[in-house]
Amino acid sequence: MLPIGSAAPDFRLYSTPDQQHSLKDYSGKNLILAFYPADWSPVCGDQVSLYNEMLQLFRKENAAIVGISVDGRWCHQAYMQSRNLHFPLLADFEPKGAVAKAYGAYDEKEGLCERALYVLDAGGIVRWHYLSPPSVNPGADGILNALRKINAKK
């Protein structure tokens, strides 16, 4: 994973068939990057549903969240609609896993994103990260603690 204090690599990924997001779109906000293995898997579903429920708490900490997996934009669109998600899921589809690789969050053997979390400050600097086992939902406590730490330094 990227070292704490390093600049986060920029990206531009699709969230729907016609909408893209980049790191620069979130300039001035803290940003949570939630890399996860796959849409439609049970643990991933629990994880993204939890983050959907936590959106108000994230916003209170001047933070936005994006999910990132190697699933395609059409898959993400269907998954977001089925789960009623209110944050974007980004398709690191082609070239497969390029963004996850840049963040050290790609499992070459499985061809999937690892279950990795990053918290970036408003300037795009890595302030916290966590790599969870694939079958474990990492929850949100670490994210909230990292956001509070960032905001306490202001």
Q: What digits encode the pLDDT tens for the residues 71-97? A: 999 999 999 999 999 999 999 999 999
Given 13, 32, 33, 44, the catalytic residue = 44
Q: For the domain covering 12-152, report its CATH number.
A: 3.40.30.10
pLDDT at 19 over 90: yes
In this structure, which long-range contacts are made by residues 25-28, counting pairs with CB atoms below 8 Å and at least 24 apart in sequence? 26/64, 26/120, 27/122, 27/123, 27/124, 28/122
Catalytic status, residue 44: yes
Retrieve residue 153's tokens: 């330094």
Confidence band of 153 (pLDDT split at 50, 70, 90): confident
